Amino acid sequence: MQQTYVQPEFRVKIDYDKCHKCGRCVQQCGWGVYDFNERPLPHDEKCRACHRCVTYCPAHCITIEKNTLAFRDNDNWSADARKAVWRQADTGGVLLTSMGNPRPYERIFDKLVLDACQVTNPSIDPLREPMELRTFLGRKPDSVAVEMDGKGGYRLAEGAGMKNNVELAVPLIFGPMSYGSVSLNVHRSLALAAERLGILMNTGEGGLHEDLYPYQDNVIVQVASGRFGVTPELLQRGAAIEIKIGQGAKPGIGGHLPGEKVDREVSATRMIPQGSDAISPAPHHDIYSIEDLRQLIFALKEASGYKTVGVKIAAVHNVAAIASGIVRAGADYIYLDGFRGGTGAAPAVVRDHIGIPVEIAIAAVDQRLRDEGIRNQASIIAAGSIRSSADMAKAIALGADVVAIGTAALLSLGCHLCQSCHTGNCSWGITTQKPELTRRIDPEWGAARLTNLVNAWSHELQEILGALGVNAVESLRGSRERLRAIGLGEQTCRILGVKPAGM
Amino acid sequence: MLRRHKLPLELACKALAAPLWSEIDRMPEQEAALMRSVRAVYGPAMLNGPFAIVLGFNGGMVALNDRIKLRPLVAARSGSLVMVASEESAIRAVMPSPEHVWAPKAGEPVIARVKGMDWPIHGDLHLGPAEVSCAVTGVEPACEEAVEVAV
Amino acid sequence: MTDVRHATPVGVTEGYRRISPKVTRDGDIALIDATGVYYEQLNAAVRGAIADGATTVRIEGVNGQRYIGAGIRAPGVRIEAYGTAGNDSAMFADGAEIHVFGNAQDGIGNTMSSGRVVVHGDAGDVLGYGMRGGRILVKGDVGYRVGIHMKAFEKDVPVVVCGGKARDFFGEYMAGGVLVLLGMETQFPEQPLVGGFVGTGMHGGVIYLRGAVEAWQCGGEVGVSTATAEDLASLRPHVEEWAGAFDADADEILAGPFTRLAPMSHRPYGKLYASL
């Protein structure tokens, strides 16, 4: 058989002088990199640089290096471009990958800076003074109708006030990652953490495993085009319901969970035969228009006792008009997933070339909804790629109510962004269903790490708010005046509604 | 808020200087439900940061400062005369010996209404002027009597 | 541009006139009529009287003048202000005995080093901010952020005793000293003894409250306990001093139940940070 032209991306180097010959690396590697014959013998071509072996080697004798083969310089034909052609010539296949778009598009978050108070307004000390992050997810009424309560005060008029909103302790939730793409222990970790943090996790499109029923008040249940695991029970159990139209990593295409990841539990939760591929159609075949979306939204409300129903879309070119239609269709929140959002599996061509940055989408949607006077009718959740509390603060300042994190949550559980989730061999036990791997995540441990991460970001957001001289996160929301751009073009600044630094 | 949303003045003040969530959580349920809605719906209207404002209107005035007391506010009254200022000395320069001088609580409006003058914005929500003529916080005994504000 | 500070005192500044106040001497007592006089001229007259050997400076007609007794290093001297003492009175005070017969505005005893301030009325916000020594006694109610960041070092242990009630952030960031709230001389009998966020960020010193507080009122950094006999013994001299100043019965005050608030840690945020 013809040898592939694609050379190994990494070199696994073992310092055999230090090596204990214990075989831990062999046992830890989910990719089958190591043979063992008196000492571990690596096969470089299988390595994904996930660092599981490096982390667990008791002798610290393993290093992973880039295989820095020289290619004749060509700015046009990068090494990656050449390798992709060879790989496709080898196989005839669509190149599959995972996690978010890694390409060097402009990162707008990194070109925005936040304001702080000096003299004219006091900054506020977030450690000692109240610094409120509580946020309500859902539709707000146009106004609050009140009546006298007969005791000199006021009360809500009959039927008035905010209805069916989900209370979040911080403006951050875990993004949808389906059981199937990730392991049940990951779902358990997310659910436990969501409960402890007073936030939400999201089932993704794979249904809700019954082990998560105790956490149902902290779970968004998702209804996607494949309708996996969607039953009246699921709708009853969620704190909110989300219609997944699209995903930032793969706008316009459906999900595909390979049969290898569909074990007994996954099959039971998704309600499909064990071992069969779980394929989601590209569109919902009952939604070909905004009117159809409205029909599904209200079907879900009817079936769930009028819970909060949100709609998740990928950020695409005409996102503002689409969002306006979604709000008018009755959605209580819009989830905007930017083109850097992660995935458990997507064609590389789609992941890397379709969609727009979430920063642009937030600003465009927030502005459009304000202009149309319907901003109060839906919350905006922003995701696709919130990497830090700074991104969270900037997203909120651009107009988001809440941010969602997926990749950051998985990183806290050990993910090293090796972009190989679709293989089902995740050595960290995250995106796999192999029992010997999934047991590497203990839900208690996972929940503790997720809780640490969110608490740390919450503290940092409070520090930012304090520096801005405000003590409630709603005062940051849509407050683009507190942002400035460094090195963004005039047109981008205009779309973002942000002035350049110095103005 | 007052004109288009028909919000009573007291609640509009609560939207501008919203109670902390922790305070709302401790309120009786009926009041908490109202304040949760006011805060969530009018969150964008919250004046966050330091302020002390005085607003005069046909039929009265309202004074309000921010919810964590980042700016000073002092109120005083003598009979039907109600005054507010950022310093007590400013009040005493005009009214040397007021019956009551007090520092209003942060975020709690001092509202004085002129007896007999309906505030048109209030509409149906407005009780008789005698009943809500003075919602001055802090000096409850004085508050029970209807006041005539002599300006 | 004219340097207004040294301009001929004509016209009106902030509602006051820039004229030297009338000063009369009666033995060791200097009597100053502050009516309508700008603080700069008033405080110059106070310093002048002390330089001239007055041991008591009695200021009448005070209404809002700032910095009364501010920065004065004069142990043994007594300053009496009749009226409403302005913001930052007794700021940086170091040794003098300063009495306010009336209410005191905001920022009294700011960053005070030593001496004693007695307010025979109510006091405003941020009383005793950053105070490092000396005592402040207030007869009545006090405002927000009282005793904020009081601190102690060796023999310098500041003490603040307030006879009335207090608003939020009482003893915020407190790093040392003694802060006492009696809740007795108040114009707000219906309201709670103290607002919320009591001792938030507290990492030193002690707070005594005459009465109880609920858990929600206290910052997360403080431990709350009922004052023991030993605590009350250490509290007694401060209460006696307050009672002496305002003609009250210390035993009666001390008979009430006291709550003691003290920091649970001197490093409350040790676990909040991680190295990058």
Q: What are phi and psi of B61, to 5 degrees?
A: -150, 160
- CA A471 to CA A469: how far, in whole Å? 7
Give the closest of C87, C125, C187 to B69, CB-based.
C125
Q: Residue A459 and residue C272: Cβ atoms within 8 Å?
A: yes
The span from the CA of A123 to the CA of A141, in Å, is 32
Does residue A418 share a domain with residue A281?
A: yes
Q: What is the pLDDT along chain C (276 residues), one digit of tens a residue?
A: 444 454 445 678 888 999 999 999 999 999 999 999 999 999 999 999 999 999 999 999 999 999 999 999 999 999 999 999 999 999 999 999 999 999 999 999 999 999 999 999 999 999 999 999 999 999 999 999 999 999 999 999 999 999 999 999 999 999 999 999 999 999 999 999 999 999 999 999 999 999 999 999 999 899 999 999 999 999 999 999 999 999 999 999 999 999 999 999 888 887 778 876
**Considering only CB atoms, which chain A residues are within 8 Å of C172?**
128-129
Is B122 part of any domain? yes
DSSP string, A33-68: -EEESSSEEE-GGG-----HHHHH-TT--EEEEE--
Segment A161-187 shows an average pLDDT of: 97
- Interchain CB distance below 8 Å, C201 and A130: no
B92: nearest CB among C63, C122, C145: C63
3-state secondary structure C132-201: CCCEEEECCCCCCCCCCCCCCECCECCEEEECCCECCCCCCCCEEEEEEECCCCCCCCCCCCECCCECCC
Query: Do A141 and A89 fall within a single domain?
Result: no
How many domains does the structure of chain B reveal?
1
**Are A158 and A56 in a shared domain?**
no
Contact assignment for B44 to A124 by CB distance below 8 Å: no
Domain count, chain A: 2
pLDDT in tens, A88-106: 999 999 999 999 999 999 9
Measure the N-to-C terminal CA separation of chain C; round to a whole number of Å.
Answer: 52
Helix (H, G, I), strand (E, B) or coil at A502: coil
User: What is the reported pLDDT for C190?
Assistant: 94
Residue spans of alpha helices (H) in A127-199: 184-197
Dist CA A206 CA A224 (whole Å):
9
Determine contact, residues C81/C59, Cβ cutoff 8 Å. Answer: yes
Looking at the structure, tell me whether residues A63 and A202 fall in a common domain. Answer: no
Contact A129 C274 (CB under 8 A): no
The string of pLDDT tens digits covering residues C112-159 is: 999 999 999 999 999 999 999 999 999 999 999 999 999 999 999 999
Q: Is the CB of residue A103 less than 8 Å away from at least one CB of chain B?
A: no
CA distance C237 to chain A (A): 30
Decide if C196 and B90 are in contact by the 8 Å CB cutoff: no
User: Given the structure tokens 């003609």, which residue do they identify?
Assistant: C247
Does a structural domain hold residue C101? yes
How far away is chain C from the Cα of B63, in angstroms, using its nearest Cα?
A: 18
Neighbours of chain B (3+ CB pairs under 8 A): A, C
Instruction: Say if A247 falls within a structural domain.
Output: yes
Q: Which residues contact C78 (CB under 8 A, 6 or more apart)?
A: C55, C56, C57, C96, C97, C98, C99
In terms of DSSP H, where are the helices of A201-357? 232-237, 264-270, 290-304, 319-328, 348-353
Q: Could you tell me how far CA A406 lies from the centroid of its own chain?
A: 3
Q: Which of the listed residues A66, A93, A120 is the one where a domain comes to its end?
A: A93
> How many CA within 13 A on the CB side of residue A319?
35
What is the domain range of residue A56?
10-93
Q: Would the CB atoms of B41 and A140 count as touching at under 8 Å?
A: yes
Residue A77 sits in a domain whose CATH number is: 3.30.70.20
The contacts of residue C209 (CB under 8 Å, 6+ apart) are C180, C181, C183, C193, C194, C198, C258, C259, C261
Closest CA in chain B for residue A477: B44
Is the residue at C201 inside a domain? yes
For residue A127, is it within any domain? no
Q: What is the 3-state secondary structure (H, E, C) of A370-386?
A: HHCCCHHHCEEEEECCC
Nearest CA in chain C to A456: C272
Per the structure, the complete domain to which residue B119 belongs is given by 9-143
Whether residue A32 is found in the same domain as residue A140: no
- The CATH number that applies at residue A187 is 3.20.20.70
Here the CATH number for the domain that contains residue C222 is 2.160.20.60
Query: With contact defined as beta carbons under 8 Å apart, do C181 and C193 qualify?
Result: yes
Chain C residues touching A128 at Cβ < 8 A: 169, 172-173, 197, 200-201, 219
What length is written for chain A?
503
Give me the numbers of helices (H) and strands (E) for chain A, helices first please. Answer: 15, 23
Asked if the Cβ–Cβ distance from B88 to C103 is below 8 Å, we say: yes
- d(C-alpha A109, C-alpha A492), whole Å: 12
C96: closest CA of chain B, how far (Å): 24
CA dihedral sign, ordered A461, A465, A471, A477:
negative
Cα–Cα distances (Å) from A428 to A56, A336, C51, in that order, read 11, 29, 79
pLDDT tens digit sequence for A227-284: 998 999 999 999 999 999 999 999 999 888 888 899 999 999 998 899 888 888 889 9
- Could you say which of C65, C143, C196 has the minimum Cβ distance to residue B103? C143
Tell me how many residue pairs between chain B and chain C have CB atoms under 8 A apart. Answer: 62
pLDDT in tens, A179-205: 999 999 999 999 999 999 999 999 999
Pick from B23, B100, B105: CB nearest C167: B105
| Pairwise CA distance, residues A236 & B10, whole Å | 39
The answer to whether residue A30 is domain-embedded is yes
Helix, strand, coil in percent for chain A, rounding step 5? 35, 15, 45
Residues of A within 8 A of B40 (CB-CB) are 136, 140, 162, 165
Residue A100 in domain: no
Residue A254 has a pLDDT of 87
B1 in a domain, yes or no?
A: no
Query: Does C257 map to a domain?
Result: yes
Q: Is C10 left (phi over 0), alpha (psi -120 to 50) or beta?
A: beta
Which chain C residues are Cβ-neighbours of B72 within 8 angstroms? 105-106, 124-125
| Distance from the B95 Cα atom to the nearest Cα atom in chain A, whole angstroms | 30
Domain boundary among A93, A125, A154: A93
Residue A390 has pLDDT above 80, yes or no: yes
Q: Name residues 57-76 of chain C within 8 A of B (Cβ).
A: 63-65
Which residue ranges of chain B lie beneath pLDDT 50? 120-151
Residues of B in contact with C141 (CB under 8 A): 103
The amino acid at A25: C
- Asked whether residue B151 is assigned to any structural domain, the reply reads no
Cβ neighbours of residue A299 closer than 8 Å, sequence gap 6 or more: none
As a whole-number percent, the residues of chain A with pLDDT over 90 amount to 90
Give a yes or no: residue B113 inside a domain: yes
Number of domains into which chain C is organized: 1
Helices (H), A413-477: 435-438, 443-468
Query: Residue C177 belongs to what domain range?
Result: 28-35+58-263
Q: How far, in Å, are A158, A362, B101, C35, C63 from residue C83 at the CA level?
A: 53, 57, 13, 10, 6
C274 vs A167, residue with greater confidence: A167
**Is position B120 within any domain?**
yes
**E strand spans, A208-307:** 219-223, 240-244, 256-257, 278-279
pLDDT at A259: 86
Q: By three-state DSSP, how is residue C4 classified?
A: helix
Residue B148 lies in a domain: no
Query: How close does chain B come to A19, measured CA to CA in Å?
Result: 57
What one-character-per-residue DSSP string does C22-81 give?
A: EEEEETTEEEEE-TTB-HHHHHHHHHHHHHTT-SEEEEEEEES-S-TTTT---TT-EEEE
Whole-angstrom Cα distance, residue A408 to residue A421?
15
C-beta separation of A19 from A61 below 8 A: yes
Q: Scanning every residue of chain B, which has its alpha carbon at the shortest distance from the alpha carbon of A478?
A: B44
Other CB atoms within 10 Å distance of the CB of residue A447? 21
Structure tokens at A447: 């929940």
Is A129 near chain B, with CB under 8 Å? Answer: yes
Chain C positions touching A129 (Cβ under 8 A) are 169, 172, 197, 200
Specify if C53 maps to a domain. Answer: no
pLDDT recorded at residue B71: 92
Decide if A130 and C197 are in contact by the 8 Å CB cutoff. Answer: yes
pLDDT of residue C10: 60
Three-state SS at B57: strand
Q: Kindly list the distances between the CA atom of residue A326 and the CA atoms of A157, A171, A240, B68, in Å, as whole numbers in the listed order.
A: 29, 22, 16, 39
In a domain, B131, yes or no: yes
Residue A120 located in a structural domain: no
- Is the pLDDT assigned to residue A131 strictly greater than 60? yes
Q: What is the pLDDT of residue A2?
A: 61
Residue C16 included in any domain = no
If you ran DSSP here, which 8-state letter would residue A307 be given?
A: -
Taking every pair of Cα atoms in chain C, the longest distance, rounded to a whole number of angstroms, is 67
Are the C-beta atoms of residues A6 and A90 closer than 8 Å to each other? yes
| Local structure of residue C107 (DSSP, 8 states) | T
Short-list A479, A314, A457, A485, CA closest to A400: A479
pLDDT surpassing 80 at residue A462:
yes
Question: Is C185 a domain residue?
Answer: yes
For A140, which of B8, B10, B40 is closest by C-beta distance?
B40
Indicate if the pLDDT at residue A213 is higher than 60. yes
| C50 within a domain of the structure (yes/no) | no
Q: Does A140 share its domain with A81?
A: no
